[in-house]
């Protein structure tokens, strides 16, 4: 084996072994980090192995331990061993997964990965799919198909006539939607004015009447975007009521299921997403709950002709089962990474059973962490997880403390917890309040990680309290 590769393998193995003992957060400042790298473009080249050694040394302390089991910020998945290994091979093989002709194996593996995901998530078998860089681009794919199809029904061929002068139509989406929905819409030519934010109830679900009234106000068929778990509290819209209502008004229903769609793989959780299979397009991520390394999102579209029409470069939009599947007909990119190798590996490593166990275990740990952190004097639970996301606040106990004092104290405690290096959380704003999000999604997280994270919270609160005395 090439010496550089051997060395790199050792660096990678050491990184994984150290996850348990290294600080989870970053330990160096922006200035320190900037000064660590070569600051000028080198004029002459350098030995490859030396480049790697220097890179590893310079990044030390500047990487987050998001691959570890004690990282609970945002919604960031880990990497299963086989998925990580397949990702290394994907880089080594260096295939361009644009066309069957460019990489026959990449095209065929993608066929299986897409088919298996439809089965796992209980989506219609006739749906087409695309592997994207993430859920935002999966929104882009689903919404491109929606835009093409709704315009086609209004007698407008978007591929031929473009968008300028096209008949306008609205987008209705939850006021708890992820900002990636707004960005995907912006790329597709929808401005803020075409977007109607639908009011949600205390559980974060779209109020039925709000959707109905908005649908009735519209003069053109709409795109309706529903949540299969929002990022703050894992709120899932009532698909059984909302999807038929939207369809009765001629709407296209798109679902943001970045992580929540995977709850379909758990027999004890899937009732939460009852009826989601009736939507028209779905966006999810493999780099979240499936624990495939970054980056990999997945889009599914029931109307495969609309999907293909929106992306294909071929004159005929009719896909044939007899010929190979060219990824370029379904994806926004031209040249692209063979993302499906890692997905295929992850699905094989876990199997249906393993995925169900992973989903259930994440939810149990999230509940148990929120309950235990909630017992710390001064902590207040804002939301107990119904899935794998919960919210905690650390109010300021001084008499007369205001909301902004509570927000500040919550941020201080989160920073103090992260400073322990034992666990890492992020802040969010929910219903106008700053909160600490507890998000459990990494396959590595185990009971010991939960214990260490809860202990870190106790320590941080005690330290902050004694500093204030
Ligand atoms: C993470 C997330 C997204 C965005 O996904 P990317 O993979 O980062 O593009 C969208 N919606 C929800 C609910 C998310 O949690």
| pLDDT confidence band for 323 (50 / 70 / 90) | confident
Task: Give yes or no for residue 231 CB within 6 A of ligand 1.
Answer: yes
Each residue's pLDDT tens digit, 140-152: 999 999 999 999 9
Residue 468 pLDDT more than 80?
no
| pLDDT confidence band for 393 (50 / 70 / 90) | very high
CA atoms within 13 A on the CB side of 456: 26
Whether the CB-CB separation of 231 and 389 falls below 8 Å is answered with yes
Of 452, 444, 451, 420, which is closest to residue 67 (Cα–Cα)? Answer: 444
> In 3-state terms, what secondary structure has residue 98?
coil
Atom 5 of ligand 1: nearest residue by CA position: 135
Each residue's pLDDT tens digit, 221-275: 999 999 999 999 999 999 999 999 999 999 999 999 999 999 999 999 999 999 9
| pLDDT confidence band for 431 (50 / 70 / 90) | very high
Helix crossing, 3-18 with 48-59: angle to 10°?
Answer: 10
Would you say how long the chain is, in residues? 469
- Token pair 């007899």 in the structure block, residue: 322
| pLDDT confidence band for 75 (50 / 70 / 90) | very high
Helix (H) or strand (E) holding 256: strand 252-256
Could you tell which of 72, 237, 258 is best to mutate to test the pocket of ligand 1, judged by most ligand atoms within 8 Å of the CB?
258
User: Which atom of ligand 1 is nearest to 297's Cα?
Assistant: 7
Of 372, 310, 383, 363, which is closest to residue 149 (Cα–Cα)? Answer: 310
pLDDT at position 315 is 64
| pLDDT confidence band for 463 (50 / 70 / 90) | confident
Percent of the chain with pLDDT over 90: 96
Q: What distance in angstroms lies between residue 143's CA and the mean position of ligand 1's atoms?
A: 15
Whether the CB-CB separation of 278 and 243 falls below 8 Å is answered with yes
pLDDT at position 464 is 83
Atom 14 of ligand 1: nearest residue by CA position: 258
Whether this model's pTM surpasses 0.95: yes
pLDDT at position 466 is 81
pLDDT at position 365 is 98
Whether the CB-CB separation of 98 and 336 falls below 8 Å is answered with yes
Spatial separation of the C-alpha atoms in residues 339 and 395, rounded to whole Å: 44
* Total Cβ atoms within 10 A of residue 39: 7
**3-state SS track over 414-430:** HHHHHHCCCCECEEEEE
Spatial separation of the C-alpha atoms in residues 461 and 37, rounded to whole Å: 36
| pLDDT confidence band for 314 (50 / 70 / 90) | confident
Q: What distance in angstroms lies between residue 235's CA and the mean position of ligand 1's atoms?
A: 14
Across the range 76-100, mean pLDDT stands at 97
pLDDT at position 133 is 98
Spatial separation of the C-alpha atoms in residues 107 and 338, rounded to whole Å: 8
Q: What distance in angstroms lies between residue 136's CA and the mean position of ligand 1's atoms?
A: 6
Q: What distance in angstroms lies between residue 231's CA and the mean position of ligand 1's atoms?
A: 8
Could you tell which of 72, 77, 134, 234 is best to mutate to test the pocket of ligand 1, judged by most ligand atoms within 8 Å of the CB?
134
Each residue's pLDDT tens digit, 170-203: 999 999 999 999 999 999 999 999 999 999 999 9
Residue 317 pLDDT more than 70?
no
- Token pair 């004029």 in the structure block, residue: 43
Task: Give yes or no for residue 277 CB within 6 A of ligand 1.
Answer: no
| pLDDT confidence band for 453 (50 / 70 / 90) | very high
Spatial separation of the C-alpha atoms in residues 97 and 417, rounded to whole Å: 42
Spatial separation of the C-alpha atoms in residues 422 and 348, rounded to whole Å: 32
Q: What are the tokens at 93? A: 């093989």
């Amino acid at each position: 084996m090439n010496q550089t590769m051997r060395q790199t393998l050792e660096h990678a193995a050491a990184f994984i072994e150290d996850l348990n003992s290294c600080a989870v957060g970053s330990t160096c400042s922006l200035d320190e980090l900037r000064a660590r790298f070569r600051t000028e473009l080198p004029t002459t080249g350098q030995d490859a192995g030396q480049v790697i050694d220097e890179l590893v040394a310079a990044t030390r302390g500047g990487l987050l331990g998001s691959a570890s089991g004690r990282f609970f910020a945002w919604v960031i998945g880990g990497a299963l061993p086989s998925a990580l290994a397949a990702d290394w091979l994907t880089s080594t093989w260096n295939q361009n997964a644009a066309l069957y002709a460019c990489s026959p194996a990449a095209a065929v593996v993608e066929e299986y990965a897409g088919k298996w995901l439809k089965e796992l998530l209980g989506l219609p078998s006739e749906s087409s799919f695309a592997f994207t860089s993430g859920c935002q681009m999966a929104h882009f794919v689903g919404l491109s198909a929606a835009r093409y199809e709704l315009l086609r029904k209004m007698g407008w061929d978007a591929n031929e006539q473009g968008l300028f002068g096209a008949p306008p139509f609205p987008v209705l989406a939850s006021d708890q939607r992820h900002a990636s929905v707004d960005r995907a819409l912006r790329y597709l030519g929808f401005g803020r004015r075409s977007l109607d934010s639908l009011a949600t109830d205390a559980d974060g679900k779209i109020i039925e009447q709000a959707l109905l009234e908005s649908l009735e106000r519209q003069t053109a068929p709409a795109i309706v975007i529903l949540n299969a778990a929002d990022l703050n509290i894992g709120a899932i819209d009532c698909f059984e009521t909302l999807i038929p209502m939207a369809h009765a008004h001629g709407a296209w229903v798109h679902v943001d299921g970045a992580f929540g769609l995977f709850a379909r793989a758990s027999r004890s959780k899937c009732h939460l997403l009852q009826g989601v299979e009736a939507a028209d397009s779905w966006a999810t991520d493999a780099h979240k709950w499936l624990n495939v390394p970054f980056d990999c999102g997945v889009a599914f579209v029931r109307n495969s002709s609309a999907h293909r029409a929106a992306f294909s470069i071929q004159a005929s939009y009719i896909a044939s089962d007899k010929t190979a599947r060219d990824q370029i007909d379904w994806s926004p990119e031209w040249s692209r990474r063979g993302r499906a190798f890692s997905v295929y590996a992850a699905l094989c490593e876990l199997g249906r059973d393993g995925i169900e166990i992973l989903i259930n275990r994440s939810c149990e740990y999230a509940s148990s962490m929120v309950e235990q952190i909630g017992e710390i004097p001064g902590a207040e639970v804002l939301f107990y997880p119904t899935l794998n996301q919960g919210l905690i606040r650390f109010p300021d106990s001084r008499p007369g403390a205001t909301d902004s004092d509570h927000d500040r104290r919550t941020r201080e405690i989160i920073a103090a917890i992260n400073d322990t290096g034992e666990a890492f959380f992020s802040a969010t704003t929910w219903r106008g309040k700053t909160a600490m999000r507890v998000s459990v999604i990494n396959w590595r997280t185990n009971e010991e990680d939960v214990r260490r994270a809860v202990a870190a919270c106790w320590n941080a609160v005690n330290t902050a309290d004694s500093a204030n005395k």
